[in-house]
């Protein structure tokens, strides 16, 4: 299964906001809740922050209209 981080734009109760999700390519889908960076060490945390940053810059914003 291939995945990457992706920025997601959501509108809830008329308010627009962005978060980061894990986006899966096959089958296509994404995590319901936004995710934050993590790691078992400070170095791994820094690497994950870098991956998030690079992926959010590389891939288009996911527009989540709240439809199942």
State residue 54's pLDDT score.
Answer: 98
State residue 21's pLDDT score.
Answer: 97
Those residues whose C-beta lies under 8 Å from the C-beta of residue 16, and which sit 6 or more positions away, are: 9, 10
Strand order in the sheet with 28-30: 28-30, 15-25, 3-12, 62-64
The answer to whether residues 59 and 24 touch, using CB atoms and an 8 Å cutoff, is no
**Could you state, in order of their start, the residue ranges of all structural domains in the chain?**
3-64
pTM for the structure as a whole: 0.85
Q: Residues 27-64: pLDDT tens digits?
A: 889 999 999 999 999 999 999 999 999 999 999 999 98
């Amino acid at each position: 299964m291939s995945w990457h981080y992706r920025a997601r734009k959501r509108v809830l109760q008329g308010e627009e906001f962005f978060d980061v999700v894990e986006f899966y390519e096959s089958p296509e889908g994404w995590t319901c809740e936004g995710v934050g960076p993590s790691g078992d060490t400070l170095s791994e945390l820094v690497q994950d922050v870098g991956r998030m940053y690079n992926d959010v810059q590389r891939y288009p914003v996911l527009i989540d209209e709240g439809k199942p």
